[in-house]
Chains A and B, each alone.
Chain A
Amino acid sequence: MSPGDSILDVQNLSKFFPGGRGTTIHAVNDVSFAIRPGEILGMVGESGSGKSTIGRAIVGLAHATSGQIIFRGQDITGLPEKKFRGLRKDLQIVFQDPWGALNPRLKVRTIVEEPLRLHTQMNATDRRRRVEELAQLVRLNAGLLTRYPNELSGGQLQRVCIARALATNPELIVLDEPTSSLDLSVRAGILRLLLELRTETSIAMLFISHDLGTVRLISDRIVVIYLGRIVEQGPTEQVFKAPAHPYTQALLSAHLPPDPAIDQGRHILEGEIPSSVTLPEGCFFAGRCPVAVEACSHQRPTMVTLDGDHQAACLRISEGANSIGDAPILGGPKQVSAQSNTASGRTP
């Protein structure tokens, strides 16, 4: 894909944090992906995989250690805050915790209006009209605009956060786990809203989540991330139907379908995500991978194209030995090893 086709191009992005005592936390390692206009890209990974850091780097809340972030053809990596501010009307973010994301001392109306004050020349009447329009867009009762955040439920608050992000008609919204802190029935309403917004506004979205069911439902394409590296990416249904990377396969098989009639053969991984302080030399997943061979532990795999847009980074794909389907199902109290479990990497 040429950069011109995409609204956002992330190229070889890395982000390291100081880990104390001279150590370095490698939160994001050489990540490249693109988002096309009007597309919903799902980003899946476990905690500590660096997905939130990527989201924050895109909207300028974290500065990349290396690599480039290109938004609408413009390199925005390391742009000073003053220059970045002008971009924020086109580049918005919705956070996981709506209770913490809204100023408790401002009325909902003021919260939603704030980006309009900052980024547009609208007069008070226009702003008022726009706020009401936004409330309608996110299916928020206009009566709630005069309330304070503590008077609203979690689902309503998340709608306020989305309305605020939409206020300036952005071209890209980063949604960092927007539904994880919400109850199931409320979550369904937010997902429906996001899908409706996409058809109504053609906004591109980066949907970050650890919940596979949600990501499958909402995304056009997905990126699977492990220890700050992309292990697989491709159109959602292709990845879900034919996951190529052993980690993706294990992740999908560990997902518990809410239906007792579905009894899927599961492949439980041993151990947990290793520390991001000392990265493995070869494939990051080699230590837990059931099909890893000697070469995996010292050779970094590169992205292999499987089928059109579908790519995965695994050395064993070329020999056709990447499937963990025949590997023994691990688990049970006696077999579970805990070798690599201490001090699992926690990125800030």
Chain B
Amino acid sequence: MTLLEVQNLHTHFITRDIGNQVQVAKALNSVSFKVDAGEILGLVGETGAGKSLTALSIMGLLRPPAEIVDGSIRFEGEDIVAMQRDELNRIRGAAIAMVGQNPRGALDPLTRIGEQIARVARAHDPQLSNDKATSMAVESMERVGIADPLRRAQAWPHELSGGMAQRVLIAMALINGPRLLIADEPTTGLDVTVQAQILDLLRALVQELNMGAMIITHDLGVVAQYCNRTAVMYAGRIVEEGGTRSVFGDPRHPYTKALIGSTPEKLDFTLDAEVGGGPPNLYALPPGCHYIDRCPKAAAQCNSMPPNLALSATHHALCHFAAGDQARAS
């Protein structure tokens, strides 16, 4: 069942420069993807690719000058871009929940954690008694593997380690029984041994509760080991999307290939090929493929918009040459 369907989403930063000229940074350019119940989609890319902005667009958390200029975001069939604020408030924090990076910074330092989790329940159900909300909070803490939750509910955020704070945020996200969970860099800043604990927890919860989840990360290891499907972002576009095994086993977009090739495990210093340069200027994107300036295979036709070539029913790549070298020759 499709939970979330994002279609042709364009999010731009619209500002005026010193000469009062309108400046548009095209941060998201026709982003389309979907998330099904019971699966984890990994959204991967480098800094500035638009990963977090995609999450903020979905959650309706964009602040000016960022705005959605085109496209639709459907959650269970309803377009949430068109929704009024109070309608959206009923959904976010309840049916769609988000876990951010920097868990310690996401907690209110002056409120005990049990109370913070309970607040999220009360915000969506004003009739809820304090006692009931508190017992829900404790239950949610237990579900994310916090031992002795009754006592821990009385703890202050500064008493928590990074991994424990991330568990608290996941407990908070789960309290209203979300059907979709968006995790933005959930393990960045956590140690490897703790990272594995948190990701195992997320995966178990997705299976147990049949949720859909989207993990945003720059770590290919997280995607490779925990996500069913992978979407690779570059300069505000999804350049390749497919089953994780398919994308890692047979990457077709030159950027995906370069990204996988730059992981320490795959780095081959005997090769000359290396992703040089940086992402393009979002204020002046190239007309065709955004990767044209860094791509070793770039040709004349790359100045026109590349097609989203289907390589199988589920694997697509946004490249003129994604079908392979035969297609290029013919």
Contact = CB atoms under 8 A, between A and B. Distances in A.
A187 B276 CA distance: 11
B258 A185 contact: yes
| Main SS class of interface, B | helix
A256 B221 contact: yes
B225 A213 contact: no
Contact of A260 (B155, B164, B204, B244): B244
B260 interface: yes
B196 A184 contact: no
A273 B191 contact: yes
B25 interface: no
Interface residues of A, number: 50
B23 interface: no
A32 interface: no
| Main SS class of interface, A | loop
B276 A260 contact: no
Interface string B177-221: 000000000000001111111011100110010000000001111
Contacts of A183: 46-47, 218
B168 to A, nearest CB: 11
Contacts of B147: 337-339
A212 B197 contact: no
Interface residues of B, number: 58
Interface stretch (A51-59, A98-106, A261-269): A261-269
A192 B264 CA distance: 10
B141 to A, nearest CB: 10
B162 interface: yes
A188 B262 contact: yes
22 contacts: A47-B191, A155-B278, A185-B258, A188-B267, A192-B274, A195-B269, A217-B264, A251-B193, A256-B195, A256-B224, A257-B265, A258-B266, A259-B265, A269-B193, A272-B193, A272-B194, A333-B201, A333-B208, A335-B145, A336-B145, A337-B147, A343-B161
Given A251-B192, A341-B164, 8 more contacts: A183-B47, A184-B262, A188-B275, A254-B192, A256-B192, A259-B265, A261-B248, A338-B148
Interface of A: 46-47, 153, 155, 183-189, 191-192, 195, 210-214, 216-217, 250-251, 254-262, 266, 268-269, 272-273, 331-339, 341-344
